[in-house]
Amino acid sequence: MENVQTEKIKVGSRWVEVDLAAIQHNYREIRQKIKPEVKILGVVKADAYGHGAIAISRVLEEQGVEMLGVTTPEEGRALRQAGITAPILVFGAFLPEEATSFVDFDLTATVASYEAIQWLREAAEKSNRIIKVHLKVETGMGRFGFWPQEVVAAAQKIKQTPGLFLEGVYSHLATAMWRNKKYCYRQFGIFQETCEELERAGINGLLKHMANSAAVLELPEMQLDMVRVGTLLYGQAPAPYMEKNLKLKDSWDLKAKVIYIRKLPTGQTAGYGRTFKASKPVLIAILPVGFVDGIQVEPLLKPANLLDVVKGMAKLVLRYFGCQKLSPLVQFPGGTGRIIGKVGMQLTMVDVSAVQGIKVGMVACIPARRTAIRADIPKVYRAADGAWQNGNRGEEEKTEKRKEERGKRKEEGWCSSWVTDQEF
């Protein structure tokens, strides 16, 4: 994303810049990639991958998204309280005390156990409302869901349960980002067979969905009735080799201002564990962000093959001998720096010896794992017209206005997609 003059926007010493125009562009690219009749579920879990779930949900609603997806009832509640009216599917399993949230905030539940059916039934009966549910099928992800041989009986149980409406059935691909799609096709085959068994049992018209972002790019036959996209919406490809499949725009940057500058003499060590040692005089800048902000936080992955093992070992050896070329780059208006030493909890050291005009207050763009970013970091949003706004202040004003509108509609007996028993 382009450099932004943020001095006039009061955001403090570190913030996230989110380009809503890029989100709109990416959504339209995805829409063109899929079949016209296929619906889109926009995944906004984990604060919309660090972008701000409320702001992103509003953009997606404006673009016509058919459904939103979150992991927990709490995430869904926050969207409803902000005035979001699109259907919201909660992916995760839930506790019995959370069942009332599906009624109170008009959320669609994922059902993966008979206990969940009972909890939802009790919540629906108390409120005299209908709760929509999607049945989760375990096809190979290994987390939760009904085994294929249990699905028909579970679906029949839901259909017979007062207060519940079986709207959809879905499963989750485990390896869609891999080049080898053998396991994906195995999962898809199991899911298709399960759906056919449901139809033979007289359970028809369910919303079927299995494709994630990677499948949207490479497995068009798995689009079914709806696709679930998250990574693509935010301008990233699920795997490096997929980057040319779609013309995406990056939508997110972490920025911070330099808060301190100092010179390190030759031989001086720096940081916890003294992992950095200056081989020559070095100028360093301190940034007020750290690993709690997603800096150098990466998942520990199992190597996919022997070549990955060799690459990983080579990197460890080079780091042991102080090779700085492996350190993440930090962009400044006057040039590029590199992170040195161990990243602290809230502070990061950067070698800025090659950066022209470095000074306290200069803005840096720092690489970070966006899904690990703290939700309370201020966000600055760029609208389609190019205007930037402090997201925290703007969101508060919009949320209050939409809460008032939603409250009026609720008093009149209307709320999003709430339905009565007579409608089914």
For the domain that residue 326 is a member of, what is the CATH number? 2.40.37.10
Is residue 47 a contact partner of residue 57, using CB atoms and an 8 Å limit? Answer: no
Question: Is the dihedral angle over the CA atoms 164, 227, 417, 381 positive or is it negative?
Answer: positive
- Comparing C-alpha atoms, which of 136, 202, 123 is closest to residue 163? 123
- pTM of this structure: 0.85
pLDDT higher at 408 or 335: 335
Q: How far apart are CA 365 and CA 255, in angstroms?
A: 5
pLDDT bucket at 309, cuts 50 / 70 / 90:
low
One of 185, 241, 260, 272 is an active-site residue; which one? 272
413 assigned to some structural domain? yes
Report, as an integer, the average pLDDT of 311-316.
62
pLDDT bucket at 11, cuts 50 / 70 / 90:
confident
Q: Are residues 208 and 297 in the same domain?
A: no
Q: How many domains does the chain have?
A: 2
383 assigned to some structural domain? no
pLDDT over 80 at 108, yes or no: yes
One of 45, 132, 136, 255 is an active-site residue; which one? 45
pLDDT (tens digit, 9 = 90+) per residue, 163-210?
999 999 999 999 999 999 999 999 999 999 999 999 999 999 999 999
Q: Are residues 197 and 300 in the same domain?
A: no
Q: What is the pLDDT of residue 151?
A: 98
Residue 29 dihedral angles phi and psi, to the nearest 5°: -65, -40
pLDDT higher at 57 or 317: 57
Q: Are residues 95 and 233 in the same domain?
A: yes
Please state which of the ranges 185-189, 385-389, 396-400 shows the lowest mean pLDDT: 396-400
Tell me whether residue 45 is one of the annotated catalytic residues: yes
219 assigned to some structural domain? yes
CATH number at 124 reads 3.20.20.10
Q: Are residues 172 and 128 in the same domain?
A: yes
Q: Are residues 410 and 279 in the same domain?
A: no
Q: Are residues 80 and 135 in the same domain?
A: yes
**How would you classify the pairing of strands 260-264 and 282-287?**
antiparallel
Q: What is the pLDDT of residue 10?
A: 67
Q: Are residues 137 and 202 in the same domain?
A: yes
390 assigned to some structural domain? no
1 assigned to some structural domain? no
For residue 48, CA distances in Å to 18, 71, 190, 365 come to 11, 11, 30, 20
- Whole-number average pLDDT of the chain: 88
Q: Are residues 163 and 186 in the same domain?
A: yes
Domain limits at 338? 253-372
Tell me whether residue 342 is one of the annotated catalytic residues: no
Q: Are residues 128 and 260 in the same domain?
A: no
132 assigned to some structural domain? yes
Beta bridge partners of 41: 67, 228
Q: Are residues 399 and 362 in the same domain?
A: no
Instruction: Determine the 3-state secondary structure of 218 from DSSP.
Output: helix
Place of tokens 């760029």: 382
Please state which of the ranges 23-27, 255-259, 371-375 shows the lowest mean pLDDT: 371-375
93 assigned to some structural domain? yes
pLDDT bucket at 404, cuts 50 / 70 / 90:
low
Q: What is the pLDDT of residue 415?
A: 38
Instruction: Determine the 3-state secondary structure of 19 from DSSP.
Output: strand
Q: Are residues 257 and 216 in the same domain?
A: no
Q: How far apart are CA 174 and CA 171, in angstroms?
A: 10
Q: What is the pLDDT of residue 294?
A: 85
Q: Which two tokens stand for residue 138?
A: 């375990």
246 assigned to some structural domain? no
Q: What is the DSSP letter of 328?
A: P
